[in-house]
């Protein structure tokens, strides 16, 4: 094995015909920082030009998960900085998500354990997305006064029915079967076989054979898809284009699933809920991933000028009192005019060469 490293937080290696990108912040569940994003870009650059590399595999060190997302505490700590400093991480991260989506060699994400937020961005845009019996996937941003980004507003609207709307608004975590059902993963492989899979890929000389190798390890998840089982309730309630209508519809549906969903929504930032729904509906009409990423970036810049994100991070990750005080604290106090400022294009754009 040939080893190389851009930073201690990420390790770039080559094992046979596999290029390995290892996220190496296990104590932080491999939460992404700027150095890790830069390291991933460097690894992708290295492997795309190496004729001996057939595929690229992404995985996270430690037992807890692939990646818990971007390290939002770093953004929180930069709250007094200027706009460019506060958004520097996203300016690096979003182009990485787009690059993964069209990487010319098979990009394989091992989505073992926790895969949330930015972790979804560096995995679900890949060609082969592998979940395990330990996978816990979520876009939990509405719980911290933010919204699903990293191209989620392109991915989630493609899920069956209103599944993506449920995932984006509630931020609830799901397992392997639901991740596959929602179109965010492709294969289920038992976690104890992942090392064996990488070894097999390391001996695979042709990119065209990578999919067949993965197929030989794939098995059906033992736990069924909860979202598929509740698709009727999800589609009935989440088909509306206002959060108020969704909540009213949930309140009219009998059963634990609807009641639990309603309770979750009532705990989320009202601004985040309305912003997320508008972004998801815009994503349905978008021409491609780049358009969604540009829109998300503009919305994120505005989020950092307002209260709820900093309050959400404080309550969840800093003071950890789990008791955020949203402002405004009711849906009725968040108007469409209030949301309009989140949809003002940022100049210059993130992507000067739009491959749509």
Catalytic residue positions, numbered: 70, 118, 141, 149
CB 275 within 8 A of CB 342: yes
> Is residue 323 exposed (0-12), middle (13-18) or buried (19+ Cβ within 10 Å)?
exposed
């Amino acid at each position: 094995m040939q080893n190389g490293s851009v930073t201690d937080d990420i390790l770039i290696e080559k094992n046979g015909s596999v290029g390995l990108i290892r996220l190496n912040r296990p104590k932080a569940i491999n939460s992404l920082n700027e150095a890790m994003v830069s390291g991933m870009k460097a690894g992708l650059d290295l492997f795309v030009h190496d004729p001996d590399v057939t595929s690229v595999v992404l995985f996270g060190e430690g037992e807890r998960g692939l990646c818990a997302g971007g390290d939002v505490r770093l953004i929180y700590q930069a709250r007094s900085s200027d706009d460019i400093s506060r958004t520097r991480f996203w300016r690096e991260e979003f182009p990485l998500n787009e690059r993964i989506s069209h990487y010319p060699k098979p990009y394989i994400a091992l989505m073992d354990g926790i895969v949330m937020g930015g972790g979804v961005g560096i995995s679900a845009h890949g060609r082969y997305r592998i979940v395990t019996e330990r996978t816990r996937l979520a876009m939990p941003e509405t719980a911290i006064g933010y919204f699903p980004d990293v191209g989620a507003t392109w991915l989630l609207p493609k899920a069956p029915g209103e599944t993506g709307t449920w995932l984006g608004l509630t931020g609830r975590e799901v397992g392997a079967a639901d991740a596959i059902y929602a179109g965010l993963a492709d294969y289920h492989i038992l976690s104890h076989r992942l090392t064996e899979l990488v070894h097999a890929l390391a001996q695979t000389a042709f990119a065209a054979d990578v999919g067949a190798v993965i197929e030989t390890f794939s098995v059906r998840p033992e736990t069924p898809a909860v979202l598929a089982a509740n698709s009727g309730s999800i589609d009935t309630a989440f088909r509306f284009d206002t959060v108020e209508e969704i909540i009213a519809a949930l309140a009219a549906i009998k059963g634990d699933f609807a009641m639990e969903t309603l309770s979750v929504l009532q705990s989320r930032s009202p601004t985040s809920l309305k912003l997320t729904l508008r972004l998801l509906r815009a994503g349905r009409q978008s021409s491609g991933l780049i358009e969604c990423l540009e829109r998300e970036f503009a919305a994120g810049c505005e989020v950092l000028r307002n209260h709820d994100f900093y309050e959400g991070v404080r309550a969840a990750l800093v003071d950890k009192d789990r008791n955020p005080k949203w402002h405004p604290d009711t849906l009725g106090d968040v108007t469409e005019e209030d949301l309009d400022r989140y949809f003002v294009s940022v100049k210059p754009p993130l992507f000067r060469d739009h491959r749509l």
